[in-house]
Structure 1
Amino acid sequence: MAFEEEVDDKNISETELSKIPLMRAFVESKDPSAKEYDDLTIRRFLRARELDIEKASSMFLEFLKWRSSFVPNGSISLSEVPDELAQNKMFMQGFDKKGRPITVVFGARHFQNKVGGLDEFKRFVVYSLDKLCSRMPTGEEKFVGIGDLKGWGYSNCDIRGYLGALKILQDYYPERLGKLFIVNAPSLFMTAWKIVYPFIDKKTKEKIVFVENSTLKSRLQEDIEEDQLPETYGGKMPLVPIQNC
């Protein structure tokens, strides 16, 4: 998508308009593969680094390097994440009131992958994020997540996995997370949360909302219409495994 088609976007500032071509020229001079990415992608990296061209360019060039080595075929195939998919822990369905696609992750179904290891889990994260991005309607760049921790226990605690997923989200998919609702969180989870929390950047922290069980449906419905809300939270939308979307 050419950026010129988006200049009327009310969320674009004059400063961004002036800095995007400057950053593009710089990153393309360092890595010609940057030409494959549209200006909206450049803008997301700029925003992630407070419109600092030098920092945003460094972040983007690192992303290009990572993408070419970790996703050499351009996408992650189902055959690369079989054990992660078998856990049946991630679903996609519906859109929130802003038109952002919704994903639901059940934390109690996640276990450290003893076959594919951490690398397969990271591939699964990339597979899932790419799926979410592909479902975004024109003009939308973010998604909404519901992290359901009902039944979560020590056997589900995977600090290395959590930190790996966090790094991928923050470093390689900046400005993609719109909001993350954490629901049904047991007190036991807070031990793991205290370990992970310092690694979450400020912008991401602002998008995380812990929801009390007593207000679960009403709070979710502030952002999601009932016909788009998952059935498990009192809505009308059935959950669909991510690989079937």
Structure 2
Amino acid sequence: MEEAQLKAVREMRAAVERLNSSTQGEEEANLVRFLVARSMDPEKAAKMFVQWRKWRAEIAPLGHILDDEVADQLNARKINLQGVTKSGHSMIVFLARLHFPSKDRLQYKKFVAHVLDKAVASASEHAEKGKERIVCVVDLQQFSIANIDVLSIRAAFQILQDYYPERLAKLYIMNMPRILIGIWRMLSKFLDKATLEKIVMVNSKEEKMDMLKEIGEEILPVEYGGSAKLVPLQDVKLKD
């Protein structure tokens, strides 16, 4: 780690202390994620970190989220964890046609955190500490009006941006239906520039080939030009 980064980390730790919180037990690499997300500004990064700690204590008081806590969401089998891409990133496939609005907003938010936690853990064996990232493919094939859930989409992006800084490597959106174009334009206004730059709309054969090359045929499911089978999140067992 460069001296400039170490200096910023020291200043961030001090700023966190001034906010009556602590970075005890947190490695430098994890703190750098918050700094990068806030343009290396120690004060802003400290505020983001403190907010993350408060949120984490509320959403996962045990330190992790059990499958039983998000059983309804898992049972839909809409999230697949495929393994690791050529670049060492964990890969998620979201089948939007299997998602339906839920009245249990807390369980949904816990589910988003559960998915991201497991994806980060999946990448941990292939990436440096603090640099575990995620590639996500959002498949909108057969998406219908019944699947529209603006609140959940916005909540998922908010959790990703606010509490998982520098975790997203790339997000591919496939088969965008007309009914979602206007909604997406509205939602994209609420996304950070850094997040928007990582989102790729996949429409042409060339774009599909680029996605295949970046991810890897053995990881990408057959449905998208690869050779792998979809692997539901709950069927993936990670090492302790």
Matches within 5 A, 1:69-84: 69-84=58-73
The residue number in structure 2 matching 1:3 is: none
Structure 1 residue 150, shift from structure 2 partner: 0.5
Q: TM-score, normalised by structure 2?
A: 0.91
Q: What residue in structure 2 maps to residue 192 of structure 1?
A: 183
Contact 2:21-2:50 within 8 A present in 1 as well: no
Kindly provide the amino acid, as one letter, of the partner of residue 90 in structure 2.
P
Residue 100 (str. 1) matches residue 89 (str. 2): yes
Question: Counterpart of 1:39?
Answer: 28
- Find the counterpart in structure 1 of residue 144 from structure 2: 153
Amino acid at match of 1:129: L
Cα deviation, residue 231, structure 1: 1.9
Superposition RMSD on alpha carbons, in Å? Answer: 1.6
1:201 CA displacement: 0.5
Quote the Cα distance in structure 2 between the aligned partners of 1:53 and 1:157.
39
Q: Does 1:180 align with 2:150?
A: no
Task: Please state if 1:134 is matched with 2:125.
Answer: no
Q: Structure 2 regions of 5+ residues with no counterpart?
A: none
Q: Partner of 2:214: helix, strand, or coil?
A: coil
Amino acid at match of 2:121: S
Aligned partner of 2:107: which letter? E
2:193 maps to what in 1?
A: 202
TM-score normalised per structure 1: 0.89
| Counterpart residue identity of residue 139, structure 2 | D
Taking the aligned partners of 2:180 and 2:156, their CA distance within structure 1 comes to 17
Aligned length in residues: 232
Which residue type is aligned with residue 146 of structure 1?
V
Question: 1:169 — aligned with what?
Answer: 160
Counterpart in the other structure of 1:122: 109
Map of 2:74 onto structure 1: 85
List aligned pairs for 1:219-234, cutoff 5 A. Answer: 219-234=210-225
Q: CA deviation at 1:119?
A: 1.2
Residues 196, 181 of structure 1: alpha-carbon distance in 2 compared, 3 angstrom cutoff: same
| 1:90-149 CA distance string (max 9 Å, x none) | 0011322211111000111110114xx111111100000000111112314211000000
| Secondary structure of the structure 2 residue equivalent to 1:34 | coil
